[in-house]
Amino acid sequence: MPDRIAEEAERPRESAGLYLKQLGNIIYEQLMNREFPWIMMQSRSTDNIIYDPDLRQYVLGGRTIRRHSRNIGQIRPFTQLVWTAWFGRELLRQRRTSTLREVYYSARGQRDIEFKNQSESDNIITDLETALNMAREDFNIFPEERSAIFGDLTIEYTVPGYEGRRMNLTEHPDGVMIGPALTSSEFVETTADKVLVIEKGAMFTRLVEERAHERFNAILIHTAGQSPRSTRSIIHRLNRDNGLPVWIFTDGDPWGVHIAMVIISGSANAAHLRGLATPEGRWLGVWATDIVDYKLPTENLTDHDTKRLKELREDPRYREELWQREIETFLKIGKKAELEAFSRYGLTYIVDEYLPAKLEGA
Partner 1 sequence: MTELEYQSISPSDFFYRNREIAGFSNPSRAIYAAVRELLENSLDACEARRVTPDIYLRIREIAASDEGTSIYELRIEDNGVGVPSEHIPSCFGQVFYGSKYTLKQSRGTFGLGGTITILYGQITTHKPVRVVSSTGDDIHEYEMMIDIEHNRPLVIKYWVRPNKDRWRGTAVELQLEGDYSRSMYRIYEYLKQTAMVNPYADIAFVDPRGRLYRFEKATDQMPQPPEPVKPHPQGIDVETLRRLTSITKARSMKTFMMEHFQGVGETTASRFLEEAGVSPSVDPRALSPDDIVRIVRRTKEFKGFIRPESSCLSPLGEELLEAGIRKELNLSEGGFLKVIQRKPSTYLGFPFIVEAAIAHDRSIASQMKGGIKIYRYANRIPLLFDESSGVVWKVVNKNINWSTYKVSGDTPLVVVVHLCSTKIPYKTVGKEYIADQPEVEREITNALRVVARSLRLYIARSIRMAREKRRLNIFEKYLPKIAEFSMKLSDRDEQPDVEPLLQVVSASLPEVEKKISEVPQIAGQDS
Pick 27 or 276: Cβ nearer partner 1: 27
Tell me which DSSP letter residue 150 carries: E
| Amino acid symbol at 236 | H
Pick 120 or 315: Cβ nearer partner 1: 120
Distance CA 102, CA 115 (A): 12
- Strands 57-60 and 49-52: what pairing? antiparallel
Total residues contacting partner 1 by CB under 8 A comes to 25
Q: In the chain, how long is the greatest CA-to-CA distance?
A: 74
- The candidate with the shortest Cα–Cα distance to 129, out of 26, 50, 60, is 60
Among the listed residues 83, 104, 139, 204, the single contact to partner 1 using CB under 8 A: 83
Distance CA 63, CA 65 (A): 7
- Residue 24 interacting with partner 1 (CB under 8 A): yes
Among the listed residues 14, 112, 163, 360, the single contact to partner 1 using CB under 8 A: 112
- Residue 113 interacting with partner 1 (CB under 8 A): yes
Distance CA 87, CA 153 (A): 33
Distance CA 338, CA 198 (A): 12
- Residue 120 interacting with partner 1 (CB under 8 A): no
Pick 112 or 314: Cβ nearer partner 1: 112
Pick 109 or 243: Cβ nearer partner 1: 109
* Residues 129, 130, 131, 134, Cα dihedral to 10°: 40
| Amino acid symbol at 240 | R
Interacting stretch for partner 1, rule CB under 8 A, among 16-24, 158-166, 169-177, 300-308? 16-24
Among the listed residues 11, 13, 21, 237, the single contact to partner 1 using CB under 8 A: 21
Identify the three-state secondary structure at position 165.
Answer: coil
Among the listed residues 49, 55, 60, 85, the single contact to partner 1 using CB under 8 A: 85
Pick 31 or 347: Cβ nearer partner 1: 31
Question: For the chain, how are helix, strand and coil distributed in percent, rounded to 5?
Answer: 50, 15, 35
Distance CA 243, CA 237 (A): 9
Smallest distance, partner 1 to C-beta of residue 65, A: 18
Among the listed residues 7, 8, 18, 28, the single contact to partner 1 using CB under 8 A: 28
Among the listed residues 27, 132, 155, 197, the single contact to partner 1 using CB under 8 A: 27
Smallest distance, partner 1 to C-beta of residue 143, A: 24
- The candidate with the shortest Cα–Cα distance to 340, out of 262, 285, 264, 284, is 285
Smallest distance, partner 1 to C-beta of residue 85, A: 6
Interacting stretch for partner 1, rule CB under 8 A, among 6-14, 47-55, 71-79, 170-178? 71-79
Q: Are 63 and 42 in contact (CB under 8 A)?
A: yes
Identify the three-state secondary structure at position 351.
Answer: helix
The backbone torsions φ and ψ at residue 336, rounded to the nearest 5 degrees and listed phi first, read: -145, 160
Smallest distance, partner 1 to C-beta of residue 122, A: 19
Check 51, 105, 345, 349 and give the catalytic one.
105
Tell me which DSSP letter residue 189 carries: E
Among the listed residues 6, 36, 94, 356, the single contact to partner 1 using CB under 8 A: 36
| Amino acid symbol at 302 | T
Catalytic annotation present for 51: no
- Residue 68 interacting with partner 1 (CB under 8 A): no
Among the listed residues 4, 12, 14, 32, the single contact to partner 1 using CB under 8 A: 32
Q: Are 291 and 298 in contact (CB under 8 A)?
A: yes
Among the listed residues 16, 23, 276, 288, the single contact to partner 1 using CB under 8 A: 23
Scan residues 236-275 and list those touching partner 1 (CB under 8 A).
none
- Residue 1 interacting with partner 1 (CB under 8 A): no
Helix and strand counts by DSSP (H, E) for the chain:
15, 17
- Residue 34 interacting with partner 1 (CB under 8 A): yes
The backbone torsions φ and ψ at residue 30, rounded to the nearest 5 degrees and listed phi first, read: -60, -45
Catalytic residues: 105
Residues in contact with partner 1 by the rule CB under 8 A: 20-21, 23-25, 27-28, 31-32, 34, 36-37, 69, 72, 75-76, 78-79, 82-83, 85-86, 89, 112-113
